[in-house]
Structure 1
Amino acid sequence: MNLDKNQKALFLTGMENELEPILQEVTNIRPENMLTVQCYGPVISNPYGDIMRSVIIAIYQENVEEIFVVGTKDRETASVNALTQLDSMKDKIQTLDYLFQNSRPEYPGGTVNEWLNGKENGSDNIENCVNTIHHHPLVPSYVKVRGLIVNTKDEKFSIAEVPINKTASTLT
């Protein structure tokens, strides 16, 4: 990737700490110009939630010109799946699932499991995040947004670009 070494970039990553040196190497961005927002996912489930707020503030406060949504190939969701299987949560999840089906609360997805785990395909989660950021009304058009998938087994990288003709999702 041919990026300006002085350009500030924001990386929206999962909780894996070992990715930072790999991302620094592949993007050719100096550590002092790398900003990282870590979350479980990475998933932006609400375009006006805390994660998106952090992204927008970083753009304006830190002059971020490029954003990378970074996911790992074959990410494990076993910990979240185990959480939703706990007996203490089953009744609560059943009640929330009823609300999801009948009143459509602010959480996306059809069930609590879908909301907690995201999509099964990690690249779909990344693509949705890229689209949410790219089409957000508070994100300037000059900010480049890319998806990056890291294969943790052999440290291969692949860039998932968002097609220009993709339509914006409703962000209300």
Structure 2
Amino acid sequence: MSVDKINKKSLCLIDIDPELETRLQGVVNVQPENMLTLQSYGPEISHPYGDIMRSIIIAVYQENVEEIFVVGIKDKETDPVDLESLLYSESKGMKDKVERLDYLFQNCRPEFSGGKVIDWLEGKKNITESIEKSVEIIRNHPFIPSYVKVRGLIINNRSGEFSIIDGVTREPLLKS
């Protein structure tokens, strides 16, 4: 292991999973004090100028981050949330709000990229597509310097295999 690799600061955008951060330290080959994590429900950047992206940009400049990983869990076992029934069952007022926001998503505001409110809340169902999109948003963001490496990482909980998503190429990283 080279000295450069040990001292390099890395940022990992991860799903909310208490064990994931510890497992990642060995995979990304970074000492714990040099690894920053941002936790989110689903490691997805839905907007290039949203709060998650803002935190990533500040970390790059404030903490001298040189490498960013967007980490997803391929076979995450969670109870599905029925957002539609949750939103619509609360009150008629909530239904009206959702309908108004749906109109905005589809017709008015450029920052709403089509679809419906439910689609935005649920995020992408395909973890690989979600990570690829997030990596692309970070990599192509005007505030992210070109020297910062941005990669996706998918963890398969069943097999213990880790795969890197780097644009079009995907290669297995290691098996635990």
Aligned to 2:46: 45
What amino acid is aligned across from residue 46 of structure 2 in structure 1? S
Distance of 1:118 and 1:91 partners within structure 2: 22
| C-alpha RMSD of matched pairs (Å) | 2.2
TM-score between both structures, scaled by the size of structure 2: 0.83
Using the TM superposition, give the Cα deviation of residue 57 of structure 1 relative to its aligned residue in structure 2, in angstroms. Answer: 0.8
Provide the residue aligned with 1:5 in structure 2: 6
Q: CA contact under 8 A between 2:154 and 2:164: conserved in structure 1?
A: yes
CA contact (8 A) 2:72 2:155 kept: yes
**Residue of structure 1 in register with 2:122 after alignment:** 117
* Identical columns (%): 57
**Is 2:26 the partner of 1:25?**
yes
Larger Rg: 2
C-alpha separation in 1, matches of 2:12 and 2:162: 15
Distance 2:117 2:162 in 1: 31
Change (3 A) 1:145 1:30: same
Q: Does 1:102 pair with 2:104?
A: no
Which of 128-137 and 106-115 deviates more? Answer: 106-115
Decide whether aligned partners of structure 1 residues 38 and 139 sit closer, same or farther in structure 2, where only a CA change above 3 A counts: same
Q: Tell me which amino acid in the other structure corresponds to 1:78.
A: P
Structure 1 residues 134 and 16: CA distance shift in structure 2, 3 A:
same
Q: Point out the structure with the larger strand share.
A: 2
2:85 alignment counterpart: 85
- Structure 2: distance between partners of 1:62 and 1:149: 25
Q: CA deviation at 1:98?
A: 2.8
Q: CA deviation at 1:105?
A: 5.6
Aligned twin of 2:60: 59
Question: Which structure 1 residue ranges, 5 or more long, are not aligned?
Answer: 165-172
Cα deviation, residue 48, structure 1? 1.2
Larger mean Cα displacement after TM superposition, 18-27 or 136-145: 18-27
- CA deviations on 1:18-46 (whole Å, 9 max, x unpaired) are 11121111122111010001111111111
Instruction: Extract unaligned runs of 5+ from structure 2.
Output: 170-176
Is it true that 1:136 corresponds to 2:157 in the alignment? no
Q: 1:109 to 1:77 in 2, by over 3 A?
A: farther
Contact 2:106 2:112 in 1 (8 A): no
Task: Give me the whole-angstrom Cα distance separating, in 2, the residues matched to 1:36 and 1:100.
Answer: 30
Name the SS for the 1:4 alignment partner.
helix
